[in-house]
Each structure stands twice: as structure tokens, then as C-alpha cells.
A and B are shown apart, each in its own frame.
Chain A
Amino acid sequence: MGFDTPEAAPIRNAQMCRGFMGLPFTVYYKNGQMVKATTSIQNREEIESILDEFFGK
């Protein structure tokens, strides 16, 4: 999805993404709710840690 397209607005304007100034924005949804958002490139360990925390091991 292009970051400047209207479809990206829910992510670009999300409360959790306020203050983000580095692409990509990555958001994690669980049961329709945004539970975590990160900015800039995350490494594998950072991503695994988020998945473990919010989605179980």
C-alpha cells in the first residue's frame, strides 16, 4: 500500500502512530483492535518479541 494513498490514512493517523517519523509504520491488529505499532525497520528479535507478547508463543 502506498503510504500517501487515502487507504493508508487509518495507519498514518492512528493514535499509536503519533510522533512516528520513520517508514515503515507497522501495526499489529488483534481481534480488530490495534494492539501495537512500530516505526522504522525492526529486526527479527524485535518483531518476535511483539508477536510473543501479543499473540502468544
Chain B
Amino acid sequence: MYEIFDVMILGAGAAGLTAGIYSARAKLSTLILNEGAVGGQMVLTNEIANYPGVELTKGYVIANTMKKQAKDFGCKIKTNVKIKNYLLESEIKEVILEDDRIFKAKTVILAPGGKPRLLNIKGEEKFKGTGISYCATCDGEFFTDKEIIVVGGGNSALEEAVSLTTYVKKLTIVHQFDHFQAFEYVVAEVKKNPKIDFIMESELRGFYGNSTLEKVSIEHLPTGKMSEMNIEGVFIFVGYTPNTVTFASLVKLNERNEIITDPEMKTNIPGVFAAGDCIAKRYRQVTTAVADGTIAALSAAEYLRIQK
């Protein structure tokens, strides 16, 4: 006989853990299943300085505190599981693991998070961690006094570029368009920084080196002209990809593969909610993920009340 949970949460980042806290606090039997370690992208953030009510702290500290809060309220957490199949349409939802364990619940909250988008070009996989990075906070110090490239033209790319100038000798931003998408004040800050140069209307085409990154090739898009640049580091900030591939045939996604929800975090399937970086929204912060998780858990609780 299987235990049927009130709420099953898939994902243990900021959104999933918050949903677990609220759901378990409301005396709903709650299970969190997570394919990796607890904390999601929070644990990649060295310092968090703008989480309201909390002075400067570490990402992993907030993650561990959230995990403890959820467990203290009675939420069960199973990490490093591998999920084989989802049955979300029926009244009782099921998740089947690769080891054939089955978990059932009356409601499901999808909170699988996202991951940095890759360029998917030659050498990117080879030099990940030996010259290519997706996290300035994690890896910036390794590039002290080196020359690096930042790829991207949005707020994240430009803000991270400015933060990286604390460490590097020189930084070149490579962007595919002739203008940046970032807010004007962010662009102004980048343009006045003497360490930053720009290569516009261009894209990287390959990474080269032996054990570490030594060189990149760059295409100037209007002319198709190829050039090479000797470089020891490249930081890539070209957006995030939601971890929604496995849900593509289950819930409605938009053209960016983000789960479409209403303001109450409901998906198109009754009893299935979504929260955090996986949903269609503009701003992705720990605080917005926490808000999504809260709303999803409260909506799930309301759904259960109505079903009774």
C-alpha cells in the first residue's frame, strides 16, 4: 500500500523548499523529491546581500536553513533520486523512479529550476571549469590579472562583467547585436569602466587550447569574417534554460520552454502547480522563487480544501 501525500514537490531549490515549508507548516503531508543536491542555484551563489531581513550571507547557508525549516515542520525530503515517469493527469498523481519506487500525491508542485544556457559550440564542454565559466561569483577569483571575455548583452552579463573587473586585467564583452538589452544605467556603468572593451555584432564559434583554454574564434556577423583572440577565460551569460524537458508533453510550456502558470501558480492540469525559475516570468531571483513557492503551496492547500 502506497502512502498518498497531500503535496509532492519536484525540486529542492528556493521555490521547492519554500513550498515544502509552507505546505508542511499547514499540516499537509509533504514530500520533496530532488534529482540533485538540495539548494538549486542558491548554492552557486557565494554571497547574498539583498535577501530582505538577512544581512550578508552565503547561498548555501540560506539553502541549508530552508531545508532544516522544511524538515522541522515534517516535510520529507529525498535527494539524488532519478525519476523515470510522471503520471500527473489523474486525481492521484504518481512519480515513478528508475529503481521502480512509486510516490503518490493529491497535488504536485513542479519546481525543477533552471540552468545556465550554453553556447553549444566547439570546445565548450572540454573547457568547462578550465577556462569557461557560467558563474562569476564562483569562479571570478581564478581569473585574477588575466584577460577574459564575457559573452552576452543582458543585465546579467553586464552586471557580472562589472563585478569581474574587480579581478581581471582586461575584459572584452562579445555580443551578437549592435546594442545591449540591459537597462540603460547598467550599460552606462559598463561603458565608463576603463577595463572593459566591446566586440559587437559578433559571436564565438569555438574554444581552443590544450589542458586549459588558450584561444577563441569569433565571427563578425554582418561580414562573416572570422578572427581569433588569445584568451584565458570566458564567462557565458546568455540566459537560463528551464529544466522542463521532461514535462514538455505533460504541462503547457511557452516558446522558451517555461511552464505557463496563472498568478496562483496553477498549470493547465488540475492539482498541478509550478514555481521558481521553471515558470514563465521576467525576474529570476531567490526572492521571486520564494514568493512563487509560497503561492504554489497555498494554492495547493486551497485545492485540497475544495476537493474534500
Contacts and interface: CB of A to CB of B under 8 A. Distances in A.
Interface string A26-49: 000000000000111100100000
A6 to B, nearest CB: 17
Nearest to B128: A40
B212 A22 contact: no
Contacts of B51: none
Contacts of A18: 211
A interface majority secondary structure: loop
A19 B36 contact: no
B211 A19 contact: yes
A39 B131 CA distance: 10
B35 interface: yes
A22 B130 contact: yes
Given A44-B35, A44-B36, A44-B82, A19 B139 contact: no
Interface centre among B36, B128, B131 (most CB of A within 10 A): B128
Contact of B131 (A21, A41, A44): A21
Interface residues of A, number: 11
Contact of A21 (B44, B80, B130): B130
B128 A22 contact: yes
A20 B135 CA distance: 14
6 contacts: A21-B142, A23-B135, A23-B138, A39-B129, A41-B44, A44-B82
Interface of B: 35-36, 44, 80, 82, 128-133, 135, 138-139, 142-143, 211-212, 233
Given A22-B138, A44-B82, 10 more contacts: A21-B131, A21-B139, A21-B212, A22-B128, A22-B132, A23-B135, A38-B129, A39-B128, A44-B36, A44-B80
Q: 8 smallest A-B Cβ distances: which pairs? A: A40-B129, A39-B129, A22-B129, A21-B142, A19-B212, A23-B138, A19-B211, A40-B128
